[in-house]
Amino acid sequence: MSNDKKLPDIGTEQDPKVKKQKAKAYEEYAKQFTPKPKYAANGLKAFVVGGLICCGAFAVQNWLMDFMKLEEKEAGTWVTVLLVCLAQLLTGLGWFDSLAKFAGAGCIVPITGFANAMVSPAIEYKAEGPVLGVGAKLFSVAGPVLVCGITASVIAGIIQVFR
Amino acid sequence: MEYINVFITGGAICLIGQILLDTTKLTAPRILVIFVVSGAVLQVLGWYEPLVEFGKSGATVPLPGFGYSLAKGAMEEVSKKGLLGILTGGLTATAAGIGAAIGFGYIVALIFSPKSIR
Compute the mean pLDDT over every residue in chain A, rounded to the nearest whole number. 89
Best of A153, A154, A163 to disrupt the B interface (most B CBs within 10 Å) is A153
Task: For residue B62, report the phi and psi dihedrals to the nearest 5 degrees.
Answer: -65, 165
Residue type, A68: M
Per-window interface: A 75-114 vs B, CB < 8 A:
76-81, 83-85, 88-89, 91-94, 97-98, 104-106, 108-111, 113-114
**pTM, two decimal places:** 0.85
User: How many structural domains are present in chain A?
Assistant: 2
Tens of pLDDT, residue by residue over A34-48, are 777 788 999 999 999
Compute the mean pLDDT over every residue in chain B, rounded to the nearest whole number. 93
Residue A47: inside a domain: yes
Residue A14: inside a domain: no
Closest approach of B100 to chain A, Cα-based (Å): 6
Burial classification of residue A109, based on how many CB atoms lie within 10 Å of its CB (0-12 exposed, 13-18 middle, 19 or more buried): buried
- 3-class DSSP assignment, residue A30: helix
d(CA A110, CA B3): 17
Ranges A1-10, A39-48, B55-64, B92-101: which has the least confidence: A1-10
Q: Do A57 and A102 have their domain in common? A: yes
Residue B11 has pLDDT above 60, yes or no: yes
pLDDT, mean of residues B16-29: 91
Q: Choose the final residue of a domain: A82, A106, A130.
A: A106
Decide: B9 and B55 in contact? Cβ < 8 Å. yes
**Shortest CA distance from B12: residue in chain A:** A47
Tens of pLDDT, residue by residue over A53-72, are 999 999 999 999 999 999 99
- 3-class DSSP assignment, residue B61: coil
Whole domain around residue A83: which residue ranges? 38-106
Q: Do A123 and A84 have their domain in common? A: no
Residue A137's CB is within 10 A of a number of other CB atoms, namely 22
Looking at residue A34, what is its pLDDT? Answer: 76
- 3-class DSSP assignment, residue B111: helix
Nearest to A153 among B73, B102, B104 (CB): B73
